Structure 1
Amino acid sequence: MDNLTIFTEFLLMDVTSSRELQVLQGVLFLVIYLGALTENLVTVTVIMTDTFLHSPMYFFISNMALLDLGSISVVAPRAIVNSMTANKTISLTECAAQIFLYTLFAAVEIALLVVMSYDRYVAICHPLHYGLIITLSLCSQAAAGSWASGLVYSAIHTGCMFRLPFTKTNVIQQYFCDMPQILRMSSPDVQFSEFVVIVLSVCIVLVCFKVMFVSYVNIFSTVLKMHSIEARNKAISTCTPQLAILLLFLISGVVPVFSPSANKPSLKNLLTAMFYTMVPPFINPIIYSLRNREINAALRRMFNRYSWFPVKGFLK
C-alpha cells in the first residue's frame, strides 16, 4: 500500500501519433462544433424573437436546442484544443465536471422528451382542452422539474463515480472523459455502486419510454381516425421531428452501452464516441426545421428583417 499511486489527472489518448492527422481531427471537431453552435443558436434566437413561435411546443424545442448547445460544448472545445496542441492531460476536477455536465444534459433531455410527448398527446388527442391543460405555468414547471431532476441524478451519478481515488491507471483511451473508460479505471467498490445506480437509471428510463410509447400510440391512433388529409398531415408533421430526435437519442445512448471499452485508441472507438457526443447536437436542429413550416417562415422573417437582401425562395 506504501507504493500506491493516486492519480490527480488523466491522459487522453489520440487515435494516431501522426501530428498532421491529429490536427485534421481537431479541424473536423471544430467544423462540427461551429455548425452545431450556429444551428442551435439560430434555433433559440428565432423562437425567442418571433412571436408566432411563442407556444409550448416551440418553448420545449428551444430548451432542447439549449441542451444540445450545452452537451457539445462540454466535450468539443477541450477535444479541439487537445488535438491542436501537445497537451493531452485533463485534471480530475475537469474530468468530473465533464461527466457531471454531460450526464445532466442527457438526463434533462430524457425528461423533456417525455414532456414533449405529453404536449403532443394533448394537442392532437384533446385539442379543445389544450389551452386549459398546457398553460405557460405548466410549461415552466415542467422545464424546471426536468432541470432539477437532471441535477439531482447527475450529482448522484458523478458523486458515486468519483467518491474514491483512482489508483489503477490514468490513461483514458478516448478524446474526452468517457464514462465506460472511467469505470474501467475505478475500484471494485465504485464499480458496484455505479452498477446499482445504472440499474436504477435503466428502470427510470424504461418508465419514461413507456410513457412516451403510450402517448405516441394514442397520437397515431387518433391521427388515423382523422378524415381530413390536411389535418392528418399537420398532426404527423408536428410529431415526426420529435420521434426522429427520440430515435437518435435512443441509438446514441445504446451505442456506448453495447460498445466494449477499448484498451487502446482506434478509429472505430473515435467514430463511436463522435456518434453519441457530436452528431446528435449537430443533427437535431436540422430535424426541428427540416419540415417545420413555422420555423422556416420565422427564419425568412428574421433574415428579411436583418439583411439587405430579402429571402424568398431560400427557405421553404
Structure 2
Amino acid sequence: MEHTEKKTEENATTVTQFFFLGFSELPSLQGFLFGMFSIMYVIILIGNGFIIVIVKIDPALQKPMYFFLVNFSLLEICYVSVTLPRILYNLWTQDRTICLLACAIQMFFFLILAATECFLLAVMSYDRFVAVCHPLHYPVVMNPAKCTQLAAGSWLGGIPVQIGQTCQIFSLHFCNSNRIEHFFCDVAPILKLACGDTSVHELSVYLVAVLFVASPFMMILASYTRIIATVLKLPTGKGRAKAFSTCSSHLLVVVLFFGSATINYLRPKSIHSAGTDELLSLFYTIVTPMFNPLIYSLRNKEVIAALRRLLLKI
C-alpha cells in the first residue's frame, strides 16, 4: 500500500510539461489548418482594429455605446491572442509540448478575458437599456466617468477569482497522463489529468462558471426584457425599428458567445467528449471574435456612415 502511494506520488512529480492532442488526428490537414487559422487571425486583428480606429477618429461616434465597443474590440484581440498564436505555432512546428508554467499562464489569461467578455456584454446591455428606456436621463447616467468605471470593472472584476481558480487547479498533482485532449489549456481537459478525486475542484469550476456566465446573462436578459417592453409601447413602427436596430448587433453577439460558452461549461460532465469540446471552444474562442466586427459594422448605420466619411477623406 505504501509502495503504491509512493509510486503514484513519484509519477505525479514527473509531469513537467503537457502535450496538446488537438488537431493531431488530422495529419494531412496541418498545412490547411495553419493557413485557415492564419487568415482568421488576420481578419480578427484587422476587423477589430478597424473598429477601434474609426471610433477614435470620427467625432460622430464619440458616444458611450462606441466607447464600450472599442473596449470590446480590444478585448477580442487580446482574447484570441491568448490561444491562436500558440495553435499556429503547434501546427507550423509540430511541437505540441507546453511547460506547466506556460500552460497555467495561458489558462489564467484565457479565464480572465472570458470573464471580462461576459461582464462587458452585460455592461453594453445596460447601456442599451438606459438609452432606450430612459433616453432623457441617458447623458447624465452614462457620463464619461461612469462609462470608465464600468469598463474598468469589467476588465478587473474577474482577476481575484481567476487567480484563485488557476492556482487551485495547478496545485494539483498530475499523474494520469500529460496529453491534453484539446488545442489549448482549458479547465476541463487539465482536470482530467489530475490524480485522485477532483470532484471538489470540478464543483468550484462549475460555481465560478455560474458566477461569470449565468449572472451576466441574467442581467442581459433582464435588460432586454425591459427594452422589448418599452419598444413595443412606441407609437410608430419606424420608432420601434430604430430602437431594435440599435440593439440587434449586441443581441446577436450575446447569443453567439453565451450560447456556445453555456453549452461547453454548464452541460453535464457525462455528455462531454473531446471532439465536441474542441468544436465548441473553437466557435467561441475564434469564430465568434471573427464575426463580431462584421456584425457591428454591417448592421450599424452610424459605423457605415463613418466608414464612408473616412473613405472620402482618403
If the length of structure 2 is used for normalisation, what is the TM-score? 0.90
Match among 260, 264, 274 for residue 272 of structure 2: 260
Q: Match for residue 168 of structure 1? A: 176
| 2:286 is aligned with 1:274 | no
Segment drifting more, 186-195 vs 125-134 = 186-195
1:119 to 1:260, Cα distance in 2 relative to 1, 3 A: same
**Secondary structure of the corresponding residue to residue 161 of structure 1:** helix
**Secondary structure of the corresponding residue to residue 95 of structure 2:** coil
Q: Match for residue 157 of structure 1? A: 165
Q: Distance in 2 between matches of 1:200 and 1:188?
A: 22
Segment drifting more, 100-109 vs 134-143 = 100-109
**Is residue 12–residue 88 contact of structure 1 (8 Å, CA) maintained in 2?**
yes
Q: Match for residue 40 of structure 2? A: 32
**Is residue 223–residue 236 contact of structure 1 (8 Å, CA) maintained in 2?**
yes
Q: Match for residue 309 of structure 1? A: none
Q: Match for residue 119 of structure 2? A: 111
**Is residue 157–residue 194 contact of structure 1 (8 Å, CA) maintained in 2?**
no
Q: Match for residue 258 of structure 2? A: 250
Q: Distance in 1 between matches of 2:130 and 2:290?
A: 29
The amino acid across from 1:220 in the alignment is I
Q: Match for residue 128 of structure 2? A: 120
1:148 to 1:16, Cα distance in 2 relative to 1, 3 A: closer
Provide Cα deviations, 1:115-153, integer angstroms capped at 9, x if missing partner.
111111111111111111110000000011111112223
5+ long unaligned stretches in structure 1: 307-316
Match among 103, 109, 132 for residue 95 of structure 1: 103
Counterparts of 1:1-316 in structure 2 under 5 Å? 1-2=6-7, 3-6=10-13, 7-16=15-24, 19-188=27-196, 190-203=198-211, 205-257=213-265, 258=267, 260-262=272-274, 270-306=278-314
Q: Distance in 2 between matches of 1:293 and 1:18?
A: 42
Provide Cα deviations, 1:70-111, integer angstroms capped at 9, x if missing partner.
111111111011111121111111111111111111111111
Identity over aligned pairs, percent: 38
**Secondary structure of the corresponding residue to residue 4 of structure 1:** helix
1:15 Cα deviation after fit: 3.3
Q: Distance in 2 between matches of 1:271 and 1:31?
A: 18
**Is residue 161–residue 190 contact of structure 1 (8 Å, CA) maintained in 2?**
no
1:204 Cα deviation after fit: 5.3
1:216 to 1:100, Cα distance in 2 relative to 1, 3 A: same
1:194 Cα deviation after fit: 4.0
Q: Distance in 1 between matches of 2:202 and 2:167?
A: 10
5+ long unaligned stretches in structure 2: 1-5
If the length of structure 1 is used for normalisation, what is the TM-score? 0.89
* RMSD value, Cα: 1.9
**Is residue 12–residue 195 contact of structure 2 (8 Å, CA) maintained in 1?**
no
Q: Match for residue 310 of structure 1? A: none
Q: How many residues align?
A: 302
